Structure 1
Amino acid sequence: MNRFWLFCLYLAPTIGFAQSDSNQSKAVDMADPTAVYSSVGAHLYTNGDLDLSAGFAWGKNMLAVESKQGMDALNVRYAHMNLWQGVGVYAESTLQLENDFGTSASIGAVSTLQVGDSWTIYPIATLGSMEIIEDKWIATGTVGVYNRFKLGSGFSLGVDPFYTFGESGYESIYVDTFISYQYKNHQIRLGYNASESQDNRVNSNTGFAGEGYLEYKMAF
């Protein structure tokens, strides 16, 4: 089935459910990467990939599951937010379902810093490991920051750069830039993410390239 129509079929029942249950949904800022809420979502990329996501929240905890790379990989994340003075911790792993390499796991922390009335930054730091070729793992670390700019009327701008470094000269840069719009418990995000990596161990160097995407998410 055409992925666009599959995307639409996936959204239709969730939108209907959200409209019938909107009075029971609590207000949540879906642009905030540290917000804790249950959700379902779908992501359509310009290369034709379709990914689905679901999140389950209780208290300050959240467990999220999301397909990646057109359902060729699976990302699982557990987070406990506002653990101490606004600092949250999380653990996540991306499991490759089709390739024999690329699986990763990490633990990290995220904080919240209010810069102004409309700008909030969320710095993160993680430690983990990644399988660069089959059965060959390296230790990695990542630093980055989520930037959120409130534009008014439900619109937000996000600029999220991340830098990962590892053993044997491994380096990667990842940037996600998007505009999001939230109405009640619905969010639509239009963005572009790109990455570049270098690995001296396998003599690999990828150029900076990425994909545009459209994302829908419903909170409940």
Structure 2
Amino acid sequence: MSAKAGAGARSSIEISEEILKRIRAGKYAPGDTLSQYELAAEFATSRTPIREALRFLEAKRVISLTASGRAEVATPTLRGVREAFQIRAELEGLAAELAVDWLTDKDLKNLRTCQDGYAHALRRQTTEGKASKWLSYNETFHTIIATASHNERLMEFISEMQNDAVGPILGYASQMPHSLMEENIKQHEEILSALERRDGKVARAAMSNHILRTTDIVTRWMEAG
């Protein structure tokens, strides 16, 4: 029996956001099948908003739907990864340059906390399997910088890229051996150091180089697999 929508049932948009959140956290991996029946039961709703949510995510290339309505988490393509990260490198590089004029001492302290947490979580990944933890620290690190740019349109573009393209790619990449991501710790440190010195040009270059280097790491891992 299909679940019926109740007073507290979520909308299709809310459901799509939750599914996307799980993909970004690596909880749903590429190739995983998403059962409409199970999702309807979990969200205490009918299958109609589930289908709407899945179609919405298909339009964003996050999942694929067959003619029968079967849903699978999409596997990022090499071209898709390169294109998304090229755009991200430009947007977040600019954000880092703008942020130097606005970052507060509290912002810098929060960035340091994120950086320390990121390094610790990444190095514990293989022993505790908490990929989503370092992904969360990484996202927060980048979000603090984007927010500090004080450019609302730029922040909107970065947020959209993170939610719809970059996040799912990083969720997929969380399957990589953690050793491949070790150099990201050093790159984050270079970004943070430039921000602490209020050196906008260096911060921009460090951020762009970090993202482009991540592109190389992820695409080489994809090609090898």
Report the TM-score when normalising by structure 1. Answer: 0.24
Normalized per residue, the structure richer in helix is: 2
Higher Cα radius of gyration: 2
Normalized per residue, the structure richer in strand is: 1
Report the TM-score when normalising by structure 2. Answer: 0.23
